Amino acid sequence: MAQYAAYASNMDPEQMAGRAPHSPMRGTGWLAGWRLTFGGQDKGWDGALATVVEDDSEQVFVVIYDVPDWDEKELDAWEGAALNVYRKIRVRVQTLDGDALCWMYVLDDYEGGLPSARYLGILADAAEKAGAPDDYVKDLRTRPCKSLGD
């Protein structure tokens, strides 16, 4: 069974249960050598969308799920893979049990733009529910965001 690494709103186990009901949470880990950023401002419903980019000095908290093929197709629809919003890549995630080879979605667009405060709140809430460290959640909650008039 394939393993999926979620770094955005799919970190929330309740949301994933609705989107991919046959995909249990396996655990959490860190995507070392990558950083969370935002891009595709024109594709988002209210600002830039979350993605990850390579950066040797950073790491991203992720939640790992075991995803069967039929749930993967549902996630592809949710994440806009067929619309070329996100594409899939394979990454190595560091866990307490060793490295895990996972797939994840990355934005198929340029980095840049600001997410909305609402979207950042969703990401921070998802990270908190998944057990992310307090400083990681705080960093999400205090990131720059798009103001209402933008």
Q: What is the pLDDT of residues 36-78, one digit of tens each?
A: 999 987 765 678 999 999 999 999 999 999 999 999 999 988 8
pLDDT at 70: 92
pLDDT at 86: 87
Of the residues 54, 58, 74, 79, only one is catalytic, namely: 79
| Inter-axis angle of helices 117-129 and 134-141, nearest 10 | 170
Q: What is the pLDDT of residues 79-132, one digit of tens each?
A: 876 677 888 999 999 999 999 999 999 998 899 999 999 999 999 999 999 999
Any domain includes 147: no
128 annotated active-site? no
Contact 11/28 with Cβ under 8 angstroms? no
pLDDT at 148: 62
Can you give the residue range of the structural domain that contains 81? 2-140
Any domain includes 52: yes
> Does the annotation flag 65 for ligand binding?
no
Tokens of 150: 């933008």
Any domain includes 146: no
Any domain includes 90: yes
Any domain includes 86: yes
> Does the annotation flag 86 for ligand binding?
no
Any domain includes 24: yes
Any domain includes 107: yes
- Confidence class of residue 149 from pLDDT cuts 50, 70 and 90? low
pLDDT at 58: 98
Residue 35 has pLDDT above 80, yes or no: yes
> Does the annotation flag 7 for ligand binding?
yes
Any domain includes 145: no
Q: How many domains does the chain have?
A: 1
CATH code of the domain in which 38 resides = 3.10.490.10
